[in-house]
Structure 1
Amino acid sequence: MRDEFPLVSEILHLNHAGVGPWPRRTVEAVTRFAAENAHRGSLRYPDWLAAEQRLRERLARLINAAPSDIALVKSTSEALSIIAHGLHWRPGDNIVGITQEFPSNRIVWESLASQGVTLRQLDIDRSAQPEDDLLTLCDENTRLVAVSSVQYARGLRLDLARLGTSCRARGIRLCIDAIQSLGAFPFDLRVVGADFVVADGHKWMLGPEGLALLYVSPALREELELRQFGWHMVAERGQFERRDWRPAPDATRFECGSPNMLGVHALEASLSLLDEVGIDQVAAAIGERVARLIELTDRHGFELLSPRSAPLRAGIVTFRVPDRDQQALYQALMGSGVLCAQRGAGIRFSPHFHTSEETIEQAMTLTAALAHQL
Structure 2
Amino acid sequence: MSIFRDEFPQSPGLCYLNHAAVAPWPRRATVAVQRFADENLSLGASRYLEWMKVETRLRERLMRLINAPSVDDIALLKNTSEALSFVASGLTWAPGDQIVISDEEFPSNRIVWEALSAQGVELVQVSIAGSDPEAALLEACGPRTRLMAISAVQYASGLRLDLARLGQGCKARDVLFCIDAIQQLGALPFDVQAYDCDFAMADGHKWLLAPEGLALFYCRAELRPQLKLTEYGWHMVEHMGDYNRSDWQPAQSARRFECGSPNMLAVMALEASLSLFEDIGMAQVSELILQRIDWLREGLAAIPGVKLHSPQDPARRSGILCFSIAGKDHKAVWEQLMSHRVICIPRGPGLRFSPHFYTERAVIDEALRQVRLIAMQ
TM-score interval for Structure 1 and Structure 2 normalised by the shorter chain? over 0.9
What is aligned with 1:110? Answer: 114
User: Is the CA contact 2:127–2:136 (under 8 Å) kept in the aligned structure 1?
Assistant: no
Q: What SS class does the counterpart of residue 7 from structure 1 fall into?
A: coil
The one of 225, 248, 252 equivalent to 2:251 is: 248
In structure 2, how many angstroms separate the alpha carbons of the residues matched to 1:313 and 1:63? 20
TM alignment of 1:5-24, pairs within 5 A: 5-24=8-27
Percentage identity across aligned positions? Answer: 53
* Consecutive aligned runs of 4 or more in structure 1 exceeding 2 Å deviation: 370-373
User: Is the CA contact 2:128–2:137 (under 8 Å) kept in the aligned structure 1?
Assistant: no
What is aligned with 2:288? Answer: 285
What is aligned with 1:124? Answer: 128
The one of 304, 318, 337 equivalent to 1:314 is: 318
What is aligned with 2:147? Answer: 144
What is aligned with 2:190? Answer: 187
Displacement of 1:132 in angstroms is 0.5
In structure 1, how many angstroms separate the alpha carbons of the residues matched to 2:193 and 2:261? 31
The one of 61, 64, 78 equivalent to 1:74 is: 78
RMSD: 0.7
- Partner letter of residue 359 of structure 1? V
Deviations 1:173-208 (A, max 9, x none): 100000000011111122101000000000110011
Deviations 1:323-346 (A, max 9, x none): 111110011111211110101111
Displacement of 1:10 in angstroms is 2.9
In structure 2, how many angstroms separate the alpha carbons of the residues matched to 1:312 and 1:150? 9
The one of 27, 30, 34 equivalent to 1:31 is: 34
In structure 1, how many angstroms separate the alpha carbons of the residues matched to 2:208 and 2:12? 23
Match status 1:236 vs 2:239? yes
What is aligned with 1:64? Answer: 67
- Partner letter of residue 146 of structure 1? A
Of 5-14 and 28-37, the range deviating more from structure 2:
5-14
Match status 1:202 vs 2:205? yes
In structure 1, how many angstroms separate the alpha carbons of the residues matched to 2:220 and 2:46? 36
Displacement of 1:370 in angstroms is 2.4
Q: What SS class does the counterpart of residue 18 from structure 1 fall into?
A: coil
In structure 2, how many angstroms separate the alpha carbons of the residues matched to 1:270 and 1:247? 30
In structure 1, how many angstroms separate the alpha carbons of the residues matched to 2:165 and 2:331? 37
Match status 1:215 vs 2:218? yes
Aligned pair count reads 372
In structure 1, how many angstroms separate the alpha carbons of the residues matched to 2:136 and 2:374? 40
Deviations 1:294-339 (A, max 9, x none): 1011111311100011100100111111111111001111121111
In structure 2, how many angstroms separate the alpha carbons of the residues matched to 1:327 and 1:350? 17
- Partner letter of residue 166 of structure 1? G
What is aligned with 1:345? Answer: 349
Q: Give the TM-score of the pair, scaled to structure 1.
A: 0.98
In structure 2, how many angstroms separate the alpha carbons of the residues matched to 1:326 and 1:258? 43
Displacement of 1:260 in angstroms is 0.3
Match status 1:96 vs 2:91? no
In structure 2, how many angstroms separate the alpha carbons of the residues matched to 1:188 and 1:150? 14
